[in-house]
Each structure stands twice: as structure tokens, then as C-alpha cells.
């Protein structure tokens, strides 16, 4: 009879910096939601073969919330009575209160109504958008219950609140606030009870969820990318940090009564050197992706969508290696990305059970099927919050009899007869390489900054500071680059650099000057009017005629910056740019140079430097006076990027404008 095990990975990086300030509320917000949804389902149906993988930085933050050892401004804005909110708290509430999925907005029409109002308020001050105390109270309540999902609907403490849907009273808000504050402690207690159940196992990851092979040696990218050329990356070789991360994580889990003997290596990332570190720490098993096994064996594992039995057996790399399990990617991803689109969660769960039973019938009796995935994010996209899916799934698997047998990975690792790999391909669950965390210029810049701080700590002889651990987390690199866009990326960049600055202070060393400069390039889309009929401006450093620039799009810059605004429009083959300063631009550029970096899509980039003597780029028309005026060659059938700076200071807070040509000529005339 084939064996089956689920690994549910629960993960948050440390949003809390050394000053005790939490810069994002996700650990608290999801405590009573997605995390509790999974734990409650296991408890209610006595789910077997369930492995809950907790990243220590998530557990640590939950403990801090439980013990009131964290200052979280967003949570404070959620629990403060609406009538008592300060202006700053009102802004914060409106900024965070709509980070929800389309499923959640559909479920709560009042929340969707308030979200539409925010779209209008973004065009001017949010405080002037008529969010009164009643609106803000509704937002406070609905954001919490939307994130809680079915845990709010099924909790008697909130029953009277949820029958309303809108127009919540101060007493309703008090009830929701009290419920929210209780969730971290209740969740930890629930995990501790689950850990004592047969058929349930708790595992972990190294403390801050770092990419262990890259901590050990970023040079591993050469082997990971082979036979393709690897990107140039900064040298970082601190295997002792990887050991430290694992030891600290195991100790934290142990102290919370959740001792672990197995790990989900962060992002499924493995290498031979990383495996040795896990083995030395006494870790008995690891799970990674089927793509790693395929590259390690050097042959395809699937034909016409059906995997060979090699995927469904454990492996080792030498005698001292932990047992390696490789997840079935297709079935794991079906839970994470497909079944949430089904209208009936029970039908989706039974469909998965049918697939698992059918698969088990094709496999040897000693086969092991492992499904491993994120145990948090999927449920926000399920029609009923995911709880029904999980209960139906686990309950049905308990009834499969001789068809398939759910077991924990610890049980399977200790009873298995694994095959032995000759080599282990170094990589992650994403395409078998580390490209999501290193190689892109932004990601590489972050590694360079981390390496500079780490090297300085090493040279100083100071003990490794605790903030270094959280700065080494995978998450900060995940959100850099272009592959995982989010409007919160600049915040995560800032948290990363804050952790590094904290590490420098703790080690008593001076932080690098680059630590204050954003790494993340923020893209702001700007429509640029294009006209073949409008007369080009006269470039003389002043506005000669109102009509020169009345067609243009005006972009306001940062408050207090020497540049006040940019105005842009285009002719048939040129971009026209007007730069206005807080004083005359010919005066501004006597103190610091003005730089314009223009990068047309598919064309060579153009860098223009303007100082007190004028334009330092041959072939580009420009003029300097009260204003700076430029004409730059541009194929208006394509987009372009524009970055404007005074000295090293970005006029747009590190943002780059993505110029999108927009025809404005009336074709009918």
C-alpha cells in the first residue's frame, strides 16, 4: 500500500527590527486566519500524515505578539476606536486595509465599496475622501474578518458581528479587536496540542529562512546553472552562518515545545554542502522539489504527465545524508493554484483524493507520495476560505482503507529503504536554480550589500549580531527584481536595509554608505502624449510660449527635492522633457549636477549630465536657464524608462518612470 504525506509550509520573515517596531502586520493578521484554518482542520478530523513546517521567525513573532513585546502601528490602527484615530493612523489604516484578494472583496461588499472610494481618494489626500468614523470602523472590522476567513465565521465570539455586514458599532469593533489580540496565543497553544497527536508532525526551516546553499557559498550558482553560463554574483562564503541559522531555528522550536527532526529547506534549496550541515545538526529528513531529483538523475521523471516510480521513493546522498523526499509538483501545485478556482471545495477535495488513490494503485507497496506546499497563501483564494477543502480532504483520506496510508515523514524516513544518489543537483523548487534570489541586478546588489556588512563584521572580530540572521532571510531577495511584483516591495527593501543597519550597530561598526539608498527600482507608469501636429518646443531654458508645454504630462517629484516637476510630451521621433526646480535650474546645477538616464525599449540607453556649464552629452539638444529643456530621440511605438537625479538623489524617491506613448492627434481631422 502506497504511503502519503503532506507538508504544509508556514512562513513569514522578521518584519520586526531591533527597536521592537514591526513594519508589516502579516504574522499577526494571519494568526487567526490561514494558519489557524490549517491547524483547526487537522484537529477537527484527526488528520493523519500531516507535517506542519513552521519557520522560526514566524513563531518568534507570534510569541512577541502574544507577550505584547512588539510595537505594530498597523495593528494599533486596527484596534484603536475609530473616533480616536490620529491622522497618521487613519492614513495607515487606509493604506493597509485593502491588501486583500478579489475573493475577499467579493465576499464583503462593504469592503469593496470602501476600496472603490480609496481609488478616488488616491487622486488627492486620502483624509479628504470622506472616510468618516463609521467608514473607518467598518474598514477595521472587515479587514480583520476578511483575513481571518472561515475562522471568523465559525467562531461564536464573532457571530453577532458578522450578521451585520456593515454599520458596525463600537462594541462590535471591541469584540473583533479582542479576538484579534487573542489569536497568536491561541494558535501557539493549538500547535502544541497538535504536536501530541498521532499522525501529526512538526518540522521547521533554518531560523530566518535563508537560502542555505548561497550562504555557504554563492559560487554554487556555477554548478546550479550548468551547462548554461551562470550570472556574475558577489562572493559570499559563510557556511558557519548556515550552521548558525539552523542551530538557532532548532533551538527556538525546541523552546516552544515543537521539537523538529525534519526540515523544509528554505525554498526547497539544496546542495551537497547544505545537506552536510543538516546532517551534522541531526536532521533526519528533508523535502525538496521533483525538479531537483530529475536534474540529479539526469533524466526526465515524467512522460505524458505521468511520473516514474523514482519520484515516489526516498533517497540519500551518501551514508550520513538525511533522507530526501521529493514532492509531486503537479499535485502539490494543484492545491496551491488550481483547486481554489473551483466553486465547491468539497468536490475539489474529493477529486484530489481520487487522483491520489488512482496514483497509489500504480505504485509499489513501499512507494511514498509527498505533497509539499505553502500552507498559508492558498486559502485566501478558496471560495469558502479553504477550511472545508482541508477537512474533506483529510477526512476522506482517513477512510481510504487499504488504498493509501497517510504517514508522517518522520515515520517514513525511519522505516524506508532509500535509494542512493551519486550527485545532488544544487538548486531550488523554482526551475532547479537560484535565480529567484540571485542574479538579477537588484538581487545581486542586495547580496553585495549583505556581503559588505558581513565581511566588515568578520574583520572587526565582533560577535555575529542577531540582526544579521534576519537580514540573511530569502524574502528580501525574493521581492527584488521583476519576477515577484508587489507594491510593498519598497517596504521590504527598507526592512532588509534596516536589519543590516541594526547588525552594524550591534557589531559596533560603521554601516556602508549605500545602506541608506533603496535597492528596489520602483516603476511608475506615465502616459506621454504624442502628437505629430504640435509644434516642437523651442529649447532655450525658459517657457517661450504657453503652447510649448500645455500638451504635456506633468509629474510631481518628492517634496523638498531641488527638482519640483517634470513635464513630458513627444513628437514623431523625440521625447521633449521640461525640468522645473525649486529655483532656477542654472542655479541648482551650480551646486550639483543634474543627470538624466533615458532607456528606450530596444534601443541604446542615453545618459545626459547637465552642470552649470550646460549639457555634457553630444548629439542631445538641451538648454539650461530658469528650466532645463531637452529633446531625446525616441521610437514612439515603444516604451522607455526615465530616471532623473540631482547628484545621487532621485527626484522620484528611487522610482523610474515607464513612459507609455499615447497618441492624442484626432485621426478624423
Check whether residue 527 and residue 509 sit in a common domain. no
Asked if pLDDT for residue 192 goes beyond 80, the answer is yes
Across all residues in the chain, what is the average pLDDT?
94
Check whether residue 501 and residue 594 sit in a common domain. no
- Asked, for residue 527, whether it belongs to a domain, the answer is yes
What is the arithmetic mean of pLDDT over 193-198? 97
Q: Counting every residue, how long is the chain? A: 669
- Asked, for residue 578, whether it belongs to a domain, the answer is yes
Check whether residue 497 and residue 566 sit in a common domain. no
Check whether residue 471 and residue 580 sit in a common domain. no
Check whether residue 464 and residue 540 sit in a common domain. no
Check residue 270 and report its DSSP letter.
B
- Asked, for residue 465, whether it belongs to a domain, the answer is yes
Q: How confident is the model at residue 127 (pLDDT cuts 50, 70, 90)?
A: very low
Among 553, 548, 625, which Cα is nearest to 588's? 625
Compute the distance between CA of residue 624 and CA of residue 291 in angstroms, rounded to an integer: 57
Reply yes or no: is the peptide bond before residue 67 cis, omega within 30 of 0.
no
State which of 487, 516, 545 marks the end of a domain. Answer: 516
pLDDT tens for 8-29 read 999 999 999 999 999 999 999 9
Check whether residue 572 and residue 650 sit in a common domain. yes
Which grid coordinates are listed for 17? 527590527
Check whether residue 485 and residue 448 sit in a common domain. yes
> Which residue shows C-alpha cell 521621433?
573
- Asked, for residue 47, whether it belongs to a domain, the answer is no
Check whether residue 557 and residue 493 sit in a common domain. no
Asked if pLDDT for residue 124 goes beyond 70, the answer is no
**pLDDT for the residue 321:** 96
State which of 516, 549, 578 marks the end of a domain. Answer: 516
Asked if pLDDT for residue 617 goes beyond 80, the answer is no
- Asked, for residue 161, whether it belongs to a domain, the answer is no
Share in percent of the chain as helix, strand, coil (round to 5): 45, 20, 35
Contact (Cβ atoms closer than 8 angstroms) between residue 383 and residue 345: yes
DSSP H helices, 7-149, are 26-29, 34-45, 56-66, 73-79, 87-96, 102-107, 109-121, 133-148
Compute the distance between CA of residue 358 and CA of residue 175 in angstroms, rounded to an integer: 47
Q: How confident is the model at residue 117 (pLDDT cuts 50, 70, 90)?
A: confident
Which grid coordinates are listed for 194? 497538535
CA atoms lying within 13 Å on the CB side of residue 113: 13
pLDDT above 70 coverage of the chain, percent:
97
Q: What does the angle CA 143 – CA 146 – CA 151 come to, to the nearest 5 degrees?
A: 125
CA atoms lying within 13 Å on the CB side of residue 212: 30
Contact (Cβ atoms closer than 8 angstroms) between residue 409 and residue 322: no
Asked if pLDDT for residue 128 goes beyond 60, the answer is no
Which grid coordinates are listed for 272? 551537497
What is the arithmetic mean of pLDDT over 486-498? 94
Which grid coordinates are listed for 401? 482503507
Compute the distance between CA of residue 358 and CA of residue 454 in angstroms, rounded to an integer: 51
What's phi and psi for 576, nearest 5 deg?
A: -110, 130
**pLDDT for the residue 522:** 81
Among 440, 457, 444, 436, which Cα is nearest to 499's? 457
Compute the distance between CA of residue 80 and CA of residue 133 in angstroms, rounded to an integer: 11
**pLDDT for the residue 546:** 84
Lowest mean pLDDT among 115-124, 162-171, 280-289, 653-662: 115-124
Check whether residue 489 and residue 558 sit in a common domain. no
Neighbour count for residue 488 (Cβ, 10 Å): 14
In the chain, how long is the greatest CA-to-CA distance? Answer: 87
Asked if pLDDT for residue 367 goes beyond 60, the answer is yes
Compute the distance between CA of residue 425 and CA of residue 252 in angstroms, rounded to an integer: 30
Compute the distance between CA of residue 309 and CA of residue 60 in angstroms, rounded to an integer: 39
- Asked, for residue 189, whether it belongs to a domain, the answer is no
Compute the distance between CA of residue 529 and CA of residue 507 in angstroms, rounded to an integer: 53
Compute the distance between CA of residue 479 and CA of residue 224 in angstroms, rounded to an integer: 21
CATH number, domain with residue 612:
2.60.40
Which residues constitute the domain of residue 465?
441-516
> Would the CA dihedral through 301, 307, 309, 314 be positive or negative?
positive
Compute the distance between CA of residue 425 and CA of residue 225 in angstroms, rounded to an integer: 10
Q: How confident is the model at residue 596 (pLDDT cuts 50, 70, 90)?
A: very high
Contact (Cβ atoms closer than 8 angstroms) between residue 297 and residue 425: no
How buried is residue 428: exposed, middle or buried, by Cβ count under 10 Å (0-12/13-18/19+)?
Answer: buried
- Asked, for residue 538, whether it belongs to a domain, the answer is yes
Q: How far is CA 235 from the centre of its chain?
A: 24
**pLDDT for the residue 667:** 55
Check whether residue 529 and residue 602 sit in a common domain. yes
Compute the distance between CA of residue 582 and CA of residue 510 in angstroms, rounded to an integer: 34
Neighbour count for residue 226 (Cβ, 10 Å): 13
**pLDDT for the residue 436:** 97
Q: Is 324 helix (H, G, I), strand (E, B) or coil?
A: strand
What is the arithmetic mean of pLDDT over 190-215? 98
Residue 478 zone, left/alpha/beta (φ > 0; ψ -120 to 50; rest) = alpha
Instruction: Name beta bridge partners: 615.
Output: 610
Compute the distance between CA of residue 557 and CA of residue 492 in angstroms, rounded to an integer: 22
Q: How confident is the model at residue 275 (pLDDT cuts 50, 70, 90)?
A: very high
Residue 318 zone, left/alpha/beta (φ > 0; ψ -120 to 50; rest) = left
Which grid coordinates are listed for 31? 494568526
Compute the distance between CA of residue 647 and CA of residue 624 in angstroms, rounded to an integer: 17
Compute the distance between CA of residue 468 and CA of residue 451 in angstroms, rounded to an integer: 11
**pLDDT for the residue 613:** 76
**pLDDT for the residue 648:** 75
> Would the CA dihedral through 502, 504, 508, 513 be positive or negative?
negative
- Asked, for residue 389, whether it belongs to a domain, the answer is no
Among 76, 57, 53, which Cα is nearest to 14's? 57
Q: Could you please report the per-residue DSSP string of 545-572?
A: -GGGTTTSEEEE--TT-SEEEEEEEE-S
> Would the CA dihedral through 639, 645, 650, 652 be positive or negative?
negative
Q: How far is CA 374 from the centre of its chain?
A: 13
**pLDDT for the residue 136:** 97
Among 424, 426, 419, which Cα is nearest to 315's? 419
Check whether residue 484 and residue 609 sit in a common domain. no
State which of 490, 516, 542 marks the end of a domain. Answer: 516
What is the arithmetic mean of pLDDT over 351-375? 96
Check whether residue 471 and residue 558 sit in a common domain. no
Compute the distance between CA of residue 276 and CA of residue 261 in angstroms, rounded to an integer: 15
Structural domain count of the chain: 2
Which grid coordinates are listed for 399? 477512510
Among 286, 247, 262, 253, which Cα is nearest to 203's? 262
Among 213, 637, 125, which Cα is nearest to 433's? 213
Amino acid at each position: 500500500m502506497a504511503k502519503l504525506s503532506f507538508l504544509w509550509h508556514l512562513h513569514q520573515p522578521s518584519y520586526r527590527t531591533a527597536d521592537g517596531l514591526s513594519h508589516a502586520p502579516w504574522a499577526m493578521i494571519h494568526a487567526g486566519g490561514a494558519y489557524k484554518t490549517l491547524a483547526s482542520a487537522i484537529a477537527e478530523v484527526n488528520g493523519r500524515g500531516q507535517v506542519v513546517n513552521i519557520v522560526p521567525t514566524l513563531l518568534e513573532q507570534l510569541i512577541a505578539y502574544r507577550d505584547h513585546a512588539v510595537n505594530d502601528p498597523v495593528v494599533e490602527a486596527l484596534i484603536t476606536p475609530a473616533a480616536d484615530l490620529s491622522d497618521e493612523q487613519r492614513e495607515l489604516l487606509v493604506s493597509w486595509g485593502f491588501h486583500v484578494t478579489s475573493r475577499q472583496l467579493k465576499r464583503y461588499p462593504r469592503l469593496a465599496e470602501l476600496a472603490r472610494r480609496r481609488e478616488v481618494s488616491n487622486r488627492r489626500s486620502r483624509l479628504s475622501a470622506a472616510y468618516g468614523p463609521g467608514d473607518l470602523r467598518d474598514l477595521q472590522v472587515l479587514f480583520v474578518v476578511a483575513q481571518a476567513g472561515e475562522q471568523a465565521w465559525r467562531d461564536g465570539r464573532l457571530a453577532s458581528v458578522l450578521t451585520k455586514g456593515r454599520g458596525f458599532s463600537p462594541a462590535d469593533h471591541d469584540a473583533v479587536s479582542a479576538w484579534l489580540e487573542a489569536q497568536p496565543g491561541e494558535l501557539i497553544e493549538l500547535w502544541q496540542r497538535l504536536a501530541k497527536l498521532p499522525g501529526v508532525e512538526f518540522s521547521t526551516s533554518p531560523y530566518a529562512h535563508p537560502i542555505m546553499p548561497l550562504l555557504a557559498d554563492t559560487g554554487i550558482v556555477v554548478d546550479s546553472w550548468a551547462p548554461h553560463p551562470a550570472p556574475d554574483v558577489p562572493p559570499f562564503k559563510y557556511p558557519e552562518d548556515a550552521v548558525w541559522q539552523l542551530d538557532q531555528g532548532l533551538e527556538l522550536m525546541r523552546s516552544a515545545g515543537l521539537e523538529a527532526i525534519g526540515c523544509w529547506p528554505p525554498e526547497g534549496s539544496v546542495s551537497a554542502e547544505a545537506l552536510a550541515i543538516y546532517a551534522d545538526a541531526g536532521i533526519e529528513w528533508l523535502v525538496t522539489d521533483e525538479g531537483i531529483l530529475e536534474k540529479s538523475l539526469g533524466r526526465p521523471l515524467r512522460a505524458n504527465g505521468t511520473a516514474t516510480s523514482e519520484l515516489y521513493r526516498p533517497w540519500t546522498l551518501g551514508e550520513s545524508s538525511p533522507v530526501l523526499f521529493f514532492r509531486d509538483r503537479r499535485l502539490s501545485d494543484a492545491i496551491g493554484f488550481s483547486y481554489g478556482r473551483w466553486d465547491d471545495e468539497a468536490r475539489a477535495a474529493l477529486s484530489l483524493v481520487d487522483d491520489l488513490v488512482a496514483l497509489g494503485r500504480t505504485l509499489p507497496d513501499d512507494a511514498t507520495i509527498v505533497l509539499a506546499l505553502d500552507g498559508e497563501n492558498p486559502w485566501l483564494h478558496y471560495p469558502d476560505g479553504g477550511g472545508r477543502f482541508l477537512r474533506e480532504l483529510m477526512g476522506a483520506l482517513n477512510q481510504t482503507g487499504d488504498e493509501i496510508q497517510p504517514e508522517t515523514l518522520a515515520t517514513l524516513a525511519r522505516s524506508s529503504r532509500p535509494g542512493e544518489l551519486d550527485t545532488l543537483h544544487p538548486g531550488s523548487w523554482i526551475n532547479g536554480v537560484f535565480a529567484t534570489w540571485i542574479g538579477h541586478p537588484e538581487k545581486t546588489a542586495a547580496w553585495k550589500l549583505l556581503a559588505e556588512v558581513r565581511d566588515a563584521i568578520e574583520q572587526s572580530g565582533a560577535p555575529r549580531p542577531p540582526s544579521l540572521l534576519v537580514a540573511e532571510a530569502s524574502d528580501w531577495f525574493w521581492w527584488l527584481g521583476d519576477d515577484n511584483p508587489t507594491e510593498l516591495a519598497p517596504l521590504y527593501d527598507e526592512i532588509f536595509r534596516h536589519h543590516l543597519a541594526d547588525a552594524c550597530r550591534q557589531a559596533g561598526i560603521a554601516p556602508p554608505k549605500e545602506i541608506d539608498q533603496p535597492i528596489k527600482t520602483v516603476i511608475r507608469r506615465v502616459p506621454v502624449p504624442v502628437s505629430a501636429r504640435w509644434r516642437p518646443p523651442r529649447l532655450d531654458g525658459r517657457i517661450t510660449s504657453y503652447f510649448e508645454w500645455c500638451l504635456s504630462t506633468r509629474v510631481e517629484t518628492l517634496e523638498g527635492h531641488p527638482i519640483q516637476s517634470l513635464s513630458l510630451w513627444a513628437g514623431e521621433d523625440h521625447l521633449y522633457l521640461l525640468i522645473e526646480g525649486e529655483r532656477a535650474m542654472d542655479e541648482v546645477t551650480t551646486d550639483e549636477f543634474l543627470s538624466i538616464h533615458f532607456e528606450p525599449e530596444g534601443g541604446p540607453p542615453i545618459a545626459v549630465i547637465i552642470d552649470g556649464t550646460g549639457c555634457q552629452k553630444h548629439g542631445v539638444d538641451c538648454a539650461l536657464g530658469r528650466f532645463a529643456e531637452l529633446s531625446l530621440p525616441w521610437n514612439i511605438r515603444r516604451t522607455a524608462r526615465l530616471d532623473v537625479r540631482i547628484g545621487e538623489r532621485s527626484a522620484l524617491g528611487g522610482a523610474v518612470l515607464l513612459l507609455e506613448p499615447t497618441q492624442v492627434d484626432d485621426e478624423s481631422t
